[in-house]
Amino acid sequence: MKRFSKTITASLGAATLVLGQALLTTSPALLRRAETAQWVASANASPITYVPPNRGRPQQTQGTGSRGCEALNDDKNSPIEITLVAPRDHTAYTVSERPVFYWVAGHTVNRPVEFTLVEEGNPNPIYVQEFERLEAGMNHVEMNSEQGLEVGKTYRWTVSVICNARRRSADVFAQGWIERVPVSEELQAQLDQATGPEDMAQVYGESSIWFDSIAHLSSDSDRLEALEEELDNSRIAERDEATLND
């Protein structure tokens, strides 16, 4: 991705986060599209074991945008899709002050993209980064600001394709939630014994620390495989809960 001329870290008005579109659960369908299948095909199983802290209500949403934006899609017959590389049914944890955020796009879209990070209960973003267009495949943001995440606080992160800069309610977007947690003595002891990034990814995953586990994986194919397994486990949990409630 080519960045705009600067990263914006100053507080912006709440009007920049008007997300009035219809909401729906994130779909993992684009993980099997041609642009990403080459990564997935190289891995047979998730490289980590992720143990979720809990599972609850959906914690990812998407907005479909408005007609006309799809015309700028490389595949004009397909909708614009963004999938966050994060669990969909619970708030994901990090121990990092400035974690890395990943998402996957089904197609290239020649429209500006905006990443925003907002503390829960505060409409003004603590971090904003802009890109010239949405690139097909894996994308990521590394926070580059003085202000980072605080332990014990929850934040909403959003990736938006700006279809019409004058009408932000037409954005196509995906958003999820992240919480920074402290490093426990047990986790630190396990990290100290890890022999490399892959071992650290496994330690973080078994300790329910999603974002740091994903960041320590060595390839995008591993990240996609970990995401797909987590989405599969989420669907199984939803099915089992529905069966118990019948």
Q: What is the pLDDT of residues 180-199, one digit of tens each?
A: 999 999 999 999 999 999 99
* CA angle, 151 then 157 then 161, to 5°: 165
**Which domains occur in the chain, in start order?**
14-245 (2.60.40.10)
Task: Specify the long-range contacts of residues 229-238, CB closer than 8 Å, at least 24 apart.
Answer: 229/45, 229/46, 229/50, 230/46, 230/50, 230/52, 230/87, 231/28, 231/88, 233/50, 233/52, 234/55, 234/87, 234/88, 234/89, 237/55, 237/89, 238/89
182, 192, 207 from 185: Cα distances, Å:
9, 11, 12
DSSP E strands: which ranges in 82-171?
A: 82-84, 92-94, 100-105, 113-119, 125-131, 137-142, 154-161
User: Average pLDDT over the chain, rounded to whole?
Assistant: 79
- Identify whether the C-beta of residue 65 lies closer than 8 Å to the C-beta of residue 39: no
Q: Evaluate whether 221 touches 42 at the Cβ level (below 8 Å).
A: yes
Q: Which residues contact 123 (CB under 8 A, 6 or more apart)?
A: 14, 17
Rounded to 5°, angle at Cα 127 from 122 and 131: 130
Evaluate if residue 130 carries a pLDDT over 70: yes
Residues contacting residue 163 through CB under 8 Å, at least 6 positions apart: 65, 66, 68, 69, 72, 111, 170, 171, 172
* Mean pLDDT for the stretch of residues 28-51: 59
pLDDT over threshold 80, residue 57: no
Q: What per-residue confidence (pLDDT) applies to 239?
A: 73
Quick count: other Cβ atoms within 10 Å of Cβ 226? 24
Token couple for 229: 């397994």
Tokens of 87: 């669990």
More confident residue, 44 or 96: 96
Nearest to 94 by CA among 206, 180, 213, 203: 180
8 near 129, Cβ under 8 Å? yes
- Is pTM beyond 0.85? Reply is no
Which residues does 240 contact at the CB level (< 8 Å), separation at least 6? none
Mean pLDDT within 18-44: 41
Q: Give, for 236, the enclosing helix (H) or strand (E).
A: helix 220-245
Least confident interval from 2-11, 82-91, 125-134, 200-209: 2-11
Q: Which helix (H) or strand (E) holds 149?
A: none
Confidence of residue 64 (pLDDT cuts 50, 70, 90): low
Q: Would you place residue 81 in the very low, low, confident or very high pLDDT band (cuts 50, 70, 90)?
A: confident
Query: Is 90 exceeded by the pLDDT of residue 218?
Result: yes
